[in-house]
Amino acid sequence: MIIVKLIGGLGNQMFQYALGRKLSHTKKYPFKLDISWYKNKEFGPDITREYSLGHFNVIENFATDQEIAKFAYKKEFFYRLATKIKREVFGIGQIGFDRRVFATPDNSHLDGFWQSEKYFSDIRDILLREFTLKTGFSPAAEEIAKQEADADSVSLHIRRGDYVTDKRVVSTIGSCDMGYYRRAVDIIKKKIVQPVFFIYSDDIAWVRENLRLEAPAVYVSRPEFKDYEELTLMSRCKHNIVANSSFSWWGAWLNQNPQKTIIAPARWFKNSKANSKDIIPEAWIKI
């Protein structure tokens, strides 16, 4: 049995699921999800996160408390990766793909972020099927999807929230500046004759005030849209400009347009000691 601990928002959950799904597929182990992080409110009182994978067509088997307790605290390499990666995100050492995780034995508990397609790119077809909505779009989201299909659509995601309000996150990760978005938009305009930008953000009011595109734009994000709807809508765009965020990373990775252009920040973390070379797929444009 492989148990994968889920932590963080929807994008992080998708990375964690993808690794567990890969190991389950290749090793033929049973695969379960540990969602204790959400039950126990381990993220603290100031951060709101919910288990969200259930809105997709994923394999949804949950580990019991007894199963988690049995496997969670072993001392082999595989069980120490989470602490290692969490330290590295905040500036100690290097972050990167580590193929040793593919040797994970049966009856293991994995706790980490696994932010690289190198862990699961060979099961892309499986993930494209499973990261689809169970119930489809709401009527309002369906209208946005139609607009995206009818245009040379480009999703543009601006992540703010704790990236600009939490001092620790600001100093280690930080939000992409407007210079990044201007350069990305310029690249898109040179490649695409009539792009229409579909704007996604957790602070859409701020974006309306500060983003200058000089191009047709649709401001998508609104309170009634759920995170899983917005991520799926991003994936329906023909091209993507992502933030340094796992949320828009997945919106771009799930894009099935064979002629897509995807632009990502070359520097994923503000802290220069954190190496993000394995996070961004080689086919994406890094600026």
**What is the distance between the alpha carbons of residues 198 and 188, in angstroms, rounded to a whole number?**
13
Cβ partners under 8 Å of residue 179, min gap 6: none
Mean pLDDT of 133-153: 97
Residue-wise pLDDT tens digits, 155-186:
999 998 777 767 776 667 778 999 999 999 99
Same domain, 145 and 263: yes
Task: pLDDT band for 87, please (50, 70, 90 cuts).
Answer: very low
Report if pTM > 0.85: yes
What the block records as the tokens of 28 is: 């033929």
* CATH code assigned at 159: 3.40.50
Number of structural domains, the chain? 2
Q: Between residues 172 and 116, which one has the greater pLDDT?
A: 116
Q: Which domain holds residue 274?
A: 139-286
Same domain, 146 and 276: yes
Whether the per-residue pLDDT at 94 is higher than 60: the answer is no
Whether the per-residue pLDDT at 85 is higher than 50: the answer is no
**What is the distance between the alpha carbons of residues 94 and 117, in angstroms, rounded to a whole number?**
17
**Last residue of one domain, picked from the residues 130, 155, 182:** 130
Question: Which pLDDT score is estimated for 89?
Answer: 39
Same domain, 52 and 162: no
Residue-wise pLDDT tens digits, 35-49:
999 987 655 554 578
Question: Which pLDDT score is estimated for 268?
Answer: 86
Same domain, 21 and 123: yes
**Last residue of one domain, picked from the residues 100, 130, 160:** 130
**What is the distance between the alpha carbons of residues 94 and 105, in angstroms, rounded to a whole number?**
25
Same domain, 125 and 197: no
Same domain, 81 and 213: no
DSSP labels, 9-62:
SHHHHHHHHHHHHHHHHHH---EEEE-HHHHTTTT-TT------GGGBS----B
Same domain, 143 and 276: yes
Burial class (CB in 10 A: 0-12, 13-18, 19+), 269: buried
Edge-to-edge strand order for the sheet containing 262-264?
A: 217-219, 195-201, 152-158, 239-241, 262-264, 285-286
**What is the distance between the alpha carbons of residues 60 and 67, in angstroms, rounded to a whole number?**
16
- Which residues are paired to 264 by β-bridges? 286
Same domain, 94 and 144: no
Same domain, 163 and 211: yes
Q: What is the mean pLDDT of the chain?
A: 88
Question: Which pLDDT score is estimated for 277?
Answer: 82
What the block records as the tokens of 123 is: 């099961």
Same domain, 261 and 154: yes
Question: Which pLDDT score is estimated for 163?
Answer: 73
Residue-wise pLDDT tens digits, 225-245:
999 999 999 999 999 999 999
**Last residue of one domain, picked from the residues 113, 130, 147:** 130
